[in-house]
Amino acid sequence: MHFTNLLAFAGASLVAVSGVQAANNFGTTCNSITMTSNNVLRASCRKVNGSYSTSTLDLNRCVVNNSGNLGCQSNGNYAYSCNYCGLVGSGSTTMSCQCSPGGHYTTLNLNNCVGNNDGSLTC
């Protein structure tokens, strides 16, 4: 009985982990990645059927400014306290912003916060 419960727990854990993974690493299935403003990410992302779809995402839904450091958080609204945000290099998945307090530049790999769900960028 204990062994059966352990197997059930392990299976549920794998499902949970795979669900988390699906919400990350958009850079592996999306291309033409740009930021169209201080907070809007745009990319062409592969759908399940193999075609591509252009998608945009307001990064305020995914990114937070935590005392001058960018991080992943639902409805983080980082753009209210960060300026001059953009991608570090053409097609990059790393974002850089000047954030308060202190006004220093900070970076975040958006692969940690953004995923591709059937051609749509998601947090």
| Residue-wise pLDDT tens digits, 73-108 | 999 999 999 999 999 988 889 999 999 998 889 999
**Predicted TM-score (pTM) of this structure:** 0.78
Q: Taking the alpha carbons of 15, 57, 107, 91 in that order, is the dihedral positive or negative?
A: positive
Q: Are 52 and 35 in contact (CB under 8 A)?
A: no
* Tokens encoding 67: 């005392």
Q: Domain count for the chain, please give it.
A: 1
The domain that contains 47 carries what CATH number?
2.30.60.10
- Dihedral sign, CA of 91, 21, 73, 112? negative
pLDDT digits (tens, 9 = 90+) for 24-76: 899 999 999 999 888 999 999 999 999 999 999 999 999 999 999 999 999 99
Pairing between β-strand 82-87 and β-strand 69-72 as defined by DSSP bridges: unpaired
> How far is the C-alpha of 45 from the C-alpha of 54, rounded, in Å?
6
Rounded distance between C-alpha atoms, residue 112 and residue 123, angstroms? 9
Distances (CA, A) of 63 to 8, 50, 59: 34, 29, 6
Q: How far apart are CA 64 and CA 77, in angstroms?
A: 6
Q: Which domain holds residue 47?
A: 2-122
